[in-house]
């Protein structure tokens, strides 16, 4: 079993819909990251969380340390949000920077 | 935000040749950089940790003699795929650490070995 699991693997939405992508992990962590990978391959770091909730524009990320679960929400989704969203964790006791990745969620937002 | 570049963005080479990929942090100094590879529809896999001024640390199963890493300065790390074979064809991504938990990714290099 992977240490970082994401669901769903694929998600198709209509423009304007509210999107939720989930991430569960089975190890102790010092931080959780949400990354975005566009079709060209480049990766952008969206959020780094160790507790609570963060918001940036239409994106919201939450984490529940006790339940070992994080969610990424996109409000008023737009076709340009179409990308692969990757959850990654920095394990406790290890290097702060070495990440363990989930397999990603492919989001397609149709106009 | 911080910028990390990679060069080239894509390269095609013949089997048996070597290919060098550069990773640069453009507006900050990075004592630590990471190299990842990604196969189609797969997640990123950490290959090695590149430390400025010292030898790279390779993950289990990654051949250090095949994937040569040199972190020559605080803004440049290079990955050389030696004697490349078709199975080395992949998407290679670097990242650079600016401060605690701040990790910035390069745009990636698509390597095709024919």
The H or E element containing residue A108 is: strand A105-110
pLDDT at position B16 is 97
Longest dimension (CA), chain A: 44
Task: Look at residue A101 and tell me whether its pLDDT is greater than 70.
Answer: yes
pLDDT at position B52 is 86
pLDDT at position A96 is 58
Nearest CA in chain A to B93: A42
Record: contact B34-A98, CB cut-off 8 A: yes
pLDDT at position B1 is 62
Nearest CA in chain B to A38: B107
Tell me the pairing of strands B4-7 and A99-101.
unpaired
pLDDT at position A51 is 93
Q: Which residues of A touch B100 (CB under 8 A)?
A: 96
Give the closest-approach CA distance of A3 to chain B in angstroms.
13
CA distances in angstroms from B32 to B40, B45, B54, B70, B80, listed in the order given: 26, 17, 10, 11, 17
- Locate tokens 């199975």: which residue? B87
Record: contact B108-A31, CB cut-off 8 A: no
Task: Look at residue B96 and tell me whether its pLDDT is greater than 70.
Answer: yes
Give the closest-approach CA distance of B96 to chain A in angstroms.
9
Percent of the residues in chain A that have a pLDDT greater than 70, as a whole number: 97
Position B43 confidence tier, pLDDT thresholds 50, 70, 90: confident
**Residue among A31, A42, A43 minimizing CB distance to B101:** A31
């Amino acid at each position: 079993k992977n240490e970082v699991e994401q669901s769903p693997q694929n998600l198709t939405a209509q423009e304007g819909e509210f999107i939720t992508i989930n991430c569960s992990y089975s190890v102790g962590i010092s931080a959780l990251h949400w990354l975005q990978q566009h079709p060209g391959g480049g990766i952008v770091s969206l959020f780094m969380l160790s507790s609570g909730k963060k918001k940036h524009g239409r994106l919201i990320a939450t984490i529940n340390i006790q339940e070992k679960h994080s969610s990424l929400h996109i409000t008023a989704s737009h076709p340009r949000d179409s990308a692969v969203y990757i959850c990654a964790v920095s394990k406790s006791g290890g290097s702060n920077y070495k990440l363990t990745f989930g397999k990603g969620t492919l989001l397609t937002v149709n106009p | 935000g911080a910028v990390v570049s990679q060069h080239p963005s894509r390269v095609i080479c013949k089997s048996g040749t070597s290919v060098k990929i550069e990773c640069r942090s453009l507006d900050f100094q990075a004592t630590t950089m990471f190299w990842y590879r990604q196969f189609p529809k797969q997640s990123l896999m950490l290959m090695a940790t590149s430390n400025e001024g010292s030898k790279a640390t390779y993950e289990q199963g990654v051949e250090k003699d095949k994937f040569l890493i040199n972190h020559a300065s605080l803004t440049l790390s290079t990955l050389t795929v030696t004697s490349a074979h078709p199975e080395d064809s992949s998407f290679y991504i670097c990242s650079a650490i600016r401060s605690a938990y701040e990790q910035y990714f390069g745009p990636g290099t698509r390597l095709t070995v024919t």
